[in-house]
């Protein structure tokens, strides 16, 4: 993609543990933590879900070799490391990297196109499940990283958005926009190569509005409407339109199981809408302790708050395994909940609500569903076709 490796040797340092995940990029190496089960088992022919996660982590930190460690915001290049440094550009440096990490797995043939779409559907699902996506822009999320993103409280999903995850989707939209407005002459790859030549190789920091200036230069006209709406604004992303442009089917449906983060499939049932509590919790011997309550959910409507420990629904002891069943059996759509708030026993009536369509499915459109231009654009998107 960039034409050459700016170093002679790159080192992956991996600590495999029982339960861990994360990475930190350096100039010519990365330090990674992963679960032992994320490493490939002997005889594994195709990367499974766990190994794909590890490959994506490796890909993410490796892409940082260019984007962050060399192409970097001017404010970070000139940073006084004794204090916080604020920039609105983390959506690009982490979000664009998060966009390319899994895409690179498909382009390099490490995973199939279908496996990649499943990974991408998971990102869409995580963003859609946070009401904060409509309250904080990715530029504001970047600027507030020190004070909000890395100091999250129980209300975080309702108030903030991840510049990693939503930033990756904004990067997708920017890629689509460049392809559309240039008649498929340009893509996000060209933007990254230009940033590399202008800022990365000479070691010059990117100004706060530098990326949109380069986009305007490449296209010969500004695209302020894109940046105003999706980088500095907090509106809903037009994902269906973006995916259709790439010859990808898109749908949002209700979650069907606790581990359902979306899939690559066109035939998932859309008429299934199980009841939802609208809260995240930790299962404890005494009950379910709420850690976060989603704004506008059934739990919030019943007056429940983070820290409450739910004990019973309609007189039956509550556990992680029977929650959905007890909500489903609600008489008249209302249940009585007994819970502890600190050390006092309380009860409340909760109107059961159906799960909202926040789970993403993506799939490859066939020739009967997509035109030749869409199919050709998708093929270019999923391939690494840099001219040398």
pLDDT tops 70 at residue 387? no
The pLDDT of residue 226 is above 60: yes
Do residues 54 and 64 make contact, with C-beta atoms less than 8 angstroms apart?
A: no
Residue whose C-alpha is closest to residue 162's, from 184, 132, 206: 132
Q: Percent of the chain beyond pLDDT 90? A: 86
The three-state secondary structure class of 83 is coil
pLDDT greater than 90 at residue 80 = no
- Alpha-carbon distance of 246 to 218, in angstroms, equals 21
Per-residue pLDDT, 280: 93
Paired tokens of 143:
């600027």
Is the per-residue pLDDT at 129 higher than 50? yes
Domain segments of the chain: what residues?
Answer: 83-98+113-257+366-388, 275-354
Region at 54 (left for phi over 0; alpha for psi -120 to 50; beta for the rest): alpha
Of the candidates 241, 277, 244, which has an alpha carbon nearest to the alpha carbon of residue 258?
277
Question: What percent of the chain stands above pLDDT 70?
Answer: 98
Contact (CB, 8 A) for 52 and 111: yes
Burial (CB count <10 Å: 0-12, 13-18, 19+), residue 224: exposed
Instruction: Assign a CATH topology to domain 275-354.
Output: Pdz3 Domain (2.30.42)
Q: 385 pLDDT exceeds 70?
A: no
d(Cα 127, Cα 236) in Å, to the nearest integer?
10
Q: Give me the pLDDT at residue 79, please.
A: 82
Strand partners, 144: none
**Does position 221 have pLDDT exceeding 70, yes or no?**
yes
**pTM of the full structure:** 0.94
Using 50, 70 and 90 to split pLDDT, how confident is the model at 196? very high
- How large is the average pLDDT for residues 91-120? 97
Closest of 142, 25, 152 to residue 86, by C-alpha? 142
Q: What integer pLDDT is reported at residue 301 of this predicted model?
A: 96
Query: Counting every residue, how long is the chain?
Result: 388
Quick one: tokens of 369?
A: 């569903």
* Number of alpha helices (DSSP H) and beta strands (DSSP E) in the chain: 15, 13
Distances (CA, A) of 156 to 45, 81, 129, 132, 341: 40, 26, 12, 7, 21
Q: pLDDT for 248-295, tens place per residue? A: 999 999 998 888 999 999 887 777 778 889 999 999 999 999 999 999
Q: What is the DSSP letter of 164?
A: T
Q: What is residue 332's predicted lDDT score, i.e. its pLDDT?
A: 75
The CA–CA distances, whole Å, from 258 to 262, 273, 277, 320 equal 11, 13, 12, 10
Q: Which residues contact 37 (CB under 8 A, 6 or more apart)?
A: 50
Question: Among the ranges 264-268, 317-321, 351-355, 375-379, which has the highest mean pLDDT value?
Answer: 375-379
Average pLDDT of the residues of the chain: 94
83-98+113-257+366-388: which CATH architecture?
Orthogonal Bundle (1.10)
Query: Which residues make Cβ contacts (< 8 Å) with residue 208, sequence separation at least 6?
Result: 73, 74, 75, 87, 88, 89
Question: Quick one: DSSP state of residue 7?
Answer: S
Partner residues linked to 312 by β-bridges: 317, 338
Q: For the segment 4-47, what is each residue's pLDDT rounded down to a tens digit?
A: 899 999 999 999 999 999 999 999 999 999 999 999 999 998 99
Neighbours of 185 (CB within 10 A): 11
pLDDT for 388 equals 39
- Given a cut of 70, whether residue 386 has pLDDT beyond it is no
173 and 244 in contact (C-beta within 8 Å)? no
Q: What is the pLDDT of residues 300-315, one digit of tens each?
A: 999 999 999 999 999 9
Beta strand ranges found along the chain (DSSP E) = 11-17, 22-25, 29-35, 248-254, 275-276, 279-284, 287-293, 309-313, 316-317, 334-341, 344-351, 353-354, 357-364
**C-alpha 10: how far from chain center:** 27
């Amino acid at each position: 993609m960039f034409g050459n490796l700016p170093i002679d040797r790159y080192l992956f340092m991996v600590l495999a543990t029982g339960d861990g995940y994360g990475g930190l990029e350096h100039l010519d190496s990365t330090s990674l933590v992963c679960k032992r089960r994320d490493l490939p088992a002997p005889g594994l022919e195709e990367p499974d879900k766990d190994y794909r996660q590890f490959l994506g982590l490796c890909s993410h930190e490796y892409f940082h070799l260019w984007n962050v460690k060399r192409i970097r915001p001017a404010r970070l290049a000139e940073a006084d490391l004794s204090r916080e440094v604020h920039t609105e550009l983390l959506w690009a440096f982490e979000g664009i990297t998060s966009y390319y990490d899994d895409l690179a797995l498909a382009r390099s043939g490490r995973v199939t196109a279908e496996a990649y779409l499943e990974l991408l559907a998971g990102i869409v699902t995580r963003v859609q499940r946070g009401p904060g996506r409509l309250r904080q822009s990715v530029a504001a999320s970047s600027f507030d990283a020190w004070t909000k993103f890395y100091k999250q409280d129980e209300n975080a999903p309702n108030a903030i958005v991840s510049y990693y995850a939503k930033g990756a989707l904004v990067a997708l939209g920017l890629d689509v926009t460049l392809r559309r407005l240039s008649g498929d002459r340009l893509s996000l790859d060209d933007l990254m190569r230009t940033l590399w030549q202008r800022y990365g190789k000479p070691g010059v920091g990117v100004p706060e509005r530098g990326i949109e200036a380069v986009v305007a230069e490449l296209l010969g006209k500004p695209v302020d409407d894109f940046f105003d709406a999706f980088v500095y604004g907090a509106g809903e992303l037009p994902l269906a339109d973006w995916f259709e442009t790439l010859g990808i089917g898109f749908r949002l449906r209700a979650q069907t199981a606790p581990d359902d983060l979306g899939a690559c499939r066109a035939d998932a049932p859309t008429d299934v809408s199980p009841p939802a509590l609208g809260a995240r919790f930790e299962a404890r011997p005494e009950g379910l302790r709420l850690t976060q309550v989603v704004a506008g959910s059934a739990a919030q409507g019943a007056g429940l708050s983070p820290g409450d420990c739910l004990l019973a629904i309609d007189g039956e002891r509550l556990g992680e395994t029977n929650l959905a069943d007890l909500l489903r059996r609600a008489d008249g759509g209302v249940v009585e909940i007994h819970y502890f708030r600190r050390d006092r026993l309380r009860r409340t009536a909760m109107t059961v609500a159906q799960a909202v369509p926040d789970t993403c499915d993506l799939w490859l459109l066939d020739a009967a569903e997509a035109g030749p231009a869409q199919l050709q654009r998708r093929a270019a998107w999923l391939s690494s076709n840099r001219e040398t």
